[in-house]
């Protein structure tokens, strides 16, 4: 018995030492001159959208604002421009839903939407305050999928039917989705819709956009940042609908020379629910 | 052994026919849902999980509850549970079957269910839930069947089966823990985002599972001449009472955190559940009766089981265990899941009302579970009688 106990203590002691020692060894590797380690670090950096290599070293910011390498597509919505022109907001919604064959159902229960207008306090529940100025009180804000850099929906999906593409777009594979709706529970922005019934019943089949597929019932869908249009060199449909007003600016958040970066540099912007750490790629100028 | 399920008195067949009727109705309703889509349910964009997932969650607990019989018997060699351990294992089998049926009923594309295996995704809790649930089902089938067969032959069970018995114990804990993790890891759902969800689930499971076994064993005593024994029943009552107390304690802790911190997100859903939530001049409160039903039924059940006078009367004990079980179902099988979607991420309120079609499918799944349970218990009791004869 005693001997056993001694053995146990020995093993426990050694493994504790090993446990304490291992991080030090790893640290040496990462900071050291080993070419293998350097390559691994590079891998992390160029891996696109994971944690940046210098994340730990960065000054303790409340919420990490994610990667600085690779392409990360994002959008800035200037709601001041829409206040003068609420019709343009409706047009954005209409165009998006027409281009993507989003069905219209009379029962709210069946509703599907990719981009829609909502109240300021609904879009930004963490930013509510007393006595807002009239402009914000009386106008609505456009909301859509945030294409988060750390998307909770992608984490939740059990089949990788929703995934993050290399350019930062959170995309859907409608053919793989099993319709468990875990992603809908996981999304903190209510960006996702489910096809509760055959979507074609809610579509005018004569007005279909033949360049984009309709969905089948039983799968989840949401804004895809117009990945298909981008592939053809076009802007997202909603951005195009705002014309030259610059009410919506789309581009690569990681490219310091992009227009969107200039806009972000010159304006104070906010994101929806930043405290959740999802790092949304959609920014708002209030 | 299966032949034991094929012989029974009239009541047995009437009971099975009764369950079978609802199963048939539910099957028709499911075909309707399969052909139309989940639009036939009351679920919506805002409340995207309904009765199927809420009942699934509760039944995972019932399945895990069976471990409260397995653990004392196999780990602590508590011989008194010898006769009824098999009831716990078979209850787990029936419950997991119901869970799997509820999941399939809830899928928008059920024929793609195997995608979870074809494209394994370890970062998804649903993937792990699928693994632990199916493993637990398999473990219980192996353990239950092998041990019952050995009992029938009046020999000791083979040694290898104990490995599976011991593995099944942590698996029982894991099924409900992983099920809790489906909810408590989601950002932006304040009501679910609480580290106490898994322990709370386990506490309510360890009350609900054994409570159901007490209730069923009292029925078996009347209709099948199978007596679990006074000592075993008393011990189960003790387990149920402590677990129910711990569950109540955990629920109250949620209230403390919400209302002492006064953080709106942590209070809204609790308000919605227990008193109704006012929003733009309208009070939304369709779950309030269920939650007060939970409070009243669990309190009544607890009292009936705790007072020695009522505990010793079979009728009162049956009423007590049934009301405790029902109360816990109202909490976890109705309130917990449905209320998590209120308010929605945009702080709007949509209430959920299940449709008739959805209700009939839900009832049918429960009936299928009890159908399986009846057959399994018939076999178990038959073997007991054969051994005693």
pLDDT digits (tens, 9 = 90+) for B57-98: 999 999 999 999 999 999 999 999 988 999 999 999 999 999
Burial label, A47 (beta-carbon count in 10 A; 0-12, 13-18, 19+): middle
Instruction: Work out the average pLDDT over B375-387.
Output: 92
Per-residue pLDDT band for A11 (boundaries 50, 70, 90) equals: low
CATH number at residue B235: 1.20.1630.10
The total number of structural domains in chain B stands at: 1
Tell me if chain A has a CB within 8 Å of the CB of B121.
yes
Whether pLDDT at A14 is above 80: no
CB contact under 8 A, A158 and B126: yes
Report how far residue A184's alpha carbon sits from residue A218's, in angstroms, rounded to the nearest whole number: 13
Q: Is residue A162 part of a domain?
A: yes
Instruction: Work out the average pLDDT over B184-211.
Output: 95
Tell me if chain A has a CB within 8 Å of the CB of B186.
yes
| Region of B281 on the Ramachandran plot (φ > 0 left; ψ -120 to 50 alpha; else beta) | left
Q: So what's the pLDDT on residue A32?
A: 40
Task: Give the residue on A whose Cα is nearest the Cα of B113.
Answer: A178
Range in A49-58, B340-349, B372-381 with the lowest mean pLDDT: A49-58
Query: Cα dihedral angle (B333, B338, B339, B340), rounded to 10 degrees?
Result: 100
Q: So what's the pLDDT on residue B157?
A: 92
Domain that holds residue A90: 73-285
Contact A145, A190 (CB under 8 A): no
Instruction: Work out the average pLDDT over A67-89.
Output: 88
Q: Which residues of B touch A273 (CB under 8 A)?
A: 188
In 3-state terms, what secondary structure has residue B1? Answer: coil
Q: So what's the pLDDT on residue A7?
A: 62
Tell me if chain B has a CB within 8 Å of the CB of A152.
yes
Q: Encode burial over B77-87: b for 16+ CB neighbours within 10 A, e otherwise.
A: ebebbebbbbb
Instruction: Work out the average pLDDT over B355-365.
Output: 97
Whether pLDDT at B105 is above 60: yes
Residue A190 parent element (H or E)? none
Question: Tens digit of pLDDT for each residue in A154-198?
Answer: 999 999 999 999 999 999 999 999 999 999 999 999 999 999 999
Q: Is residue B160 part of a domain?
A: yes
Question: Tens digit of pLDDT for each residue in A100-153?
Answer: 999 999 999 999 999 999 999 899 988 866 777 777 777 889 999 999 999 999
Mean pLDDT of chain B: 94
CB contact under 8 A, A185 and B37: no
CB contact under 8 A, A155 and B123: yes
Whether pLDDT at A36 is above 60: no
H helices present in chain B, as ranges:
10-36, 51-65, 67-74, 85-106, 115-118, 125-153, 160-184, 197-223, 230-261, 264-274, 288-306, 308-311, 314-328, 337-339, 356-388
Instruction: Work out the average pLDDT over B340-355.
Output: 94
Instruction: Work out the average pLDDT over A250-279.
Output: 95
Q: So what's the pLDDT on residue A63?
A: 52
Q: Is residue A259 part of a domain?
A: yes
Q: So what's the pLDDT on residue A68?
A: 61
Q: So what's the pLDDT on residue A33?
A: 41
Mean pLDDT of chain A: 82
Q: So what's the pLDDT on residue B379?
A: 94
Tokens describing residue B275: 């008193």
CB contact under 8 A, B188 and A185: no
CB pairs < 8 Å spanning A and B? 144
Domain that holds residue B247: 2-384
Whether pLDDT at A61 is above 90: no
Q: So what's the pLDDT on residue B239?
A: 96
Whether pLDDT at B176 is above 60: yes
Tell me if chain A has a CB within 8 Å of the CB of B189.
yes
Whether pLDDT at B231 is above 80: yes
Whether pLDDT at B350 is above 50: yes
Pick A186's closest partner by Cβ from B41, B186, B348.
B186
Q: Is residue A257 part of a domain?
A: yes
Q: Is residue B376 part of a domain?
A: yes
Instruction: Work out the average pLDDT over B27-31.
Output: 97
Report how far residue B185's alpha carbon sits from residue B388's, in angstroms, rounded to the nearest whole number: 50
Instruction: Give residues with Cβ within 8 angstroms of A113, minimum separation 6.
Output: A93, A97, A102, A193, B45
Q: Which residues of A touch B36 (CB under 8 A)?
A: 197
Helix (H), strand (E) counts: chain A = 11, 10
Whether pLDDT at A39 is above 60: no
**Measured CA distances, A28 to A32, A44, A52, A61, A256 (Å):** 5, 17, 19, 26, 33
Report how far residue A146's alpha carbon sits from residue A224's, in angstroms, rounded to the nearest whole number: 10
Whether pLDDT at A25 is above 50: no
Q: Is residue A50 part of a domain?
A: no
Q: Is residue A62 part of a domain?
A: no
Question: Tens digit of pLDDT for each residue in B236-284?
Answer: 999 999 999 999 999 999 999 999 999 998 999 999 999 999 988 899 9
Q: Is residue A148 part of a domain?
A: yes
- If one compares B140 and A28, the residue with the highest pLDDT of the two is B140
Tell me if chain A has a CB within 8 Å of the CB of B23.
no
Residue with tokens 């988060």: A148
The total number of structural domains in chain A stands at: 1
In 3-state terms, what secondary structure has residue A135? Answer: helix
Q: So what's the pLDDT on residue A48?
A: 40
What residues pair up with B248 in beta bridges, in sequence order?
none
Report how far residue A150's alpha carbon sits from residue B306's, in angstroms, rounded to the nearest whole number: 50
Q: Is residue A212 part of a domain?
A: yes
Task: Give the residue on B whose Cα is nearest the Cα of A181.
Answer: B48
What share of chain B has pLDDT > 70, as a percent? 100
CATH number at residue A138: 3.30.70.20
Q: So what's the pLDDT on residue A141?
A: 93
Task: Give the residue on B whose Cα is nearest the Cα of A193.
Answer: B45
Tell me if chain B has a CB within 8 Å of the CB of A188.
yes
Q: Is residue B121 part of a domain?
A: yes
Q: CA of B251 to nearest chain A CA: how many angstroms apart?
A: 22
Q: So what's the pLDDT on residue A70?
A: 86
Q: So what's the pLDDT on residue A9?
A: 56
Q: So what's the pLDDT on residue A136?
A: 76
Tell me if chain A has a CB within 8 Å of the CB of B278.
no
Query: Cα dihedral angle (B190, A63, A124, B50), rounded to 10 degrees?
Result: -30
Q: Is residue A4 part of a domain?
A: no
Instruction: Work out the average pLDDT over A28-54.
Output: 39
- If one compares A270 and A127, the residue with the highest pLDDT of the two is A270
Whether pLDDT at B388 is above 70: yes
- Reported ipTM: 0.91
Contact A140, A119 (CB under 8 A): yes
Whether pLDDT at B118 is above 90: yes
Whether pLDDT at A59 is above 90: no
Per-residue pLDDT band for A250 (boundaries 50, 70, 90) equals: very high
Instruction: Work out the average pLDDT over B198-212.
Output: 96
Tell me if chain B has a CB within 8 Å of the CB of A45.
no
């Amino acid at each position: 018995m005693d001997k056993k106990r001694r053995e146990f203590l020995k093993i426990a002691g050694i493994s504790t030492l090993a446990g304490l020692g291992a991080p030090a060894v790893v640290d040496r590797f990462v900071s050291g001159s080993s070419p293998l380690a350097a390559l691994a670090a590079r891998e992390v950096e160029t891996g696109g959208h994971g944690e940046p290599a210098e994340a730990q070293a960065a000054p303790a910011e409340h919420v990490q604002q994610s990667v600085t390498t690779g392409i990360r597509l994002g959008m800035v919505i200037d709601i001041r421009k829409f206040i003068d022109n609420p019709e343009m907001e409706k047009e954005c919604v209409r165009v998006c839903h027409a281009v993507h064959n989003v069905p219209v159902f009379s029962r709210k229960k069946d509703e599907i939407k990719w981009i829609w207008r909502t109240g300021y306090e609904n879009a930004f529940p963490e930013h509510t305050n007393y006595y807002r100025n009239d402009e914000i009180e009386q106008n609505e804000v456009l909301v859509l999928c945030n294409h988060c850099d750390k998307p909770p929906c992608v984490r939740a999906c059990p089949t990788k039917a929703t995934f993050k593409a290399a350019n930062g777009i959170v995309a859907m594979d409608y053919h793989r989705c099993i319709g468990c709706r875990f992603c809908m529970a996981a999304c903190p922005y209510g960006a996702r819709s489910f096809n509760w019934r055959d979507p074609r019943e809610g579509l005018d089949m004569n007005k279909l956009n033949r360049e984009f597929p309709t969905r089948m019932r039983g799968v989840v869908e949401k804004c895809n940042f117009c990945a298909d249009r981008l592939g053809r060199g076009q802007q997202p449909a909603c951005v195009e609908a705002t014309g030259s007003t610059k009410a919506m600016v789309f581009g690569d958040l990681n490219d310091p020379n992009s227009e969107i970066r200039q806009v972000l540099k010159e304006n104070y912007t906010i994101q929806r629910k930043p405290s959740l750490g999802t790092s949304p790629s959609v920014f708002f100028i209030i | 052994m299966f032949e034991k399920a094929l012989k029974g008195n009239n009541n047995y067949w009437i009971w099975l026919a009764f369950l079978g009727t609802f199963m048939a109705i539910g099957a028709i309703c499911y075909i309707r849902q399969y052909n139309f889509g989940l639009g036939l349910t009351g679920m919506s964009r805002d409340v995207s999980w309904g009765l199927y997932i809420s009942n699934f969650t509760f039944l995972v607990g019932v399945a895990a509850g069976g471990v409260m019989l397995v653990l004392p018997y196999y780990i602590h060699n508590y011989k008194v549970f010898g006769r009824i351990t098999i009831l716990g294992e078979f209850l787990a089998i029936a419950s997991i079957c119901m869970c799997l049926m509820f999941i399939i009923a809830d899928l928008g594309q059920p024929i793609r269910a195997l995608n979870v295996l074809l494209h394994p995704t370890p970062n998804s809790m649903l993937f792990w839930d699928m693994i632990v649930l199916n493993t637990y089902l398999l473990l219980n089938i192996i353990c239950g069947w092998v041990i019952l067969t050995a009992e029938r032959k009046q020999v000791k069970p083979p040694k290898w089966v104990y490995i599976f018995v011991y593995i099944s114990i942590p698996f029982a804990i894991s099924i409900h823990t992983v099920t809790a993790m489906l909810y408590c890891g989601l950002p932006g759902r304040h009501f679910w985002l609480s580290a106490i969800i898994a322990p709370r689930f386990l506490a309510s499971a360890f009350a609900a599972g054994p409570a159901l076994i007490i209730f069923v064993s009292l029925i078996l005593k009347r209709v099948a001449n199978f007596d679990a024994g006074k000592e075993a029943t008393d011990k189960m009552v003790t387990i149920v009472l402590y677990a129910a107390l711990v569950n109540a304690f955990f629920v109250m802790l949620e209230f403390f955190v919400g209302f002492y911190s006064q953080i709106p997100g942590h209070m809204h859903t609790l308000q919605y559940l227990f008193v109704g939530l006012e929003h733009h001049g309208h009070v939304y409160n369709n779950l309030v009766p269920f939650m007060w039903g939970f409070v009243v039924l669990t309190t009544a059940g607890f009292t009936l089981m705790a007072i020695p006078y009522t505990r010793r009367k079979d009728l009162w004990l049956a009423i007590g265990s049934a009301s405790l079980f029902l109360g816990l179902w109202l909490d976890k099988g109705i309130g917990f899941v449905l209320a998590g979607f209120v308010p929605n991420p945009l702080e709007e309120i949509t209430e959920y009302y299940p449709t008739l079609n959805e209700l009939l499918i839900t009832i049918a799944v429960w009936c299928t579970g009890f159908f399986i349970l009846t057959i399994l218990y018939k076999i178990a009791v038959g073997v007991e009688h054969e051994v005693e004869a």
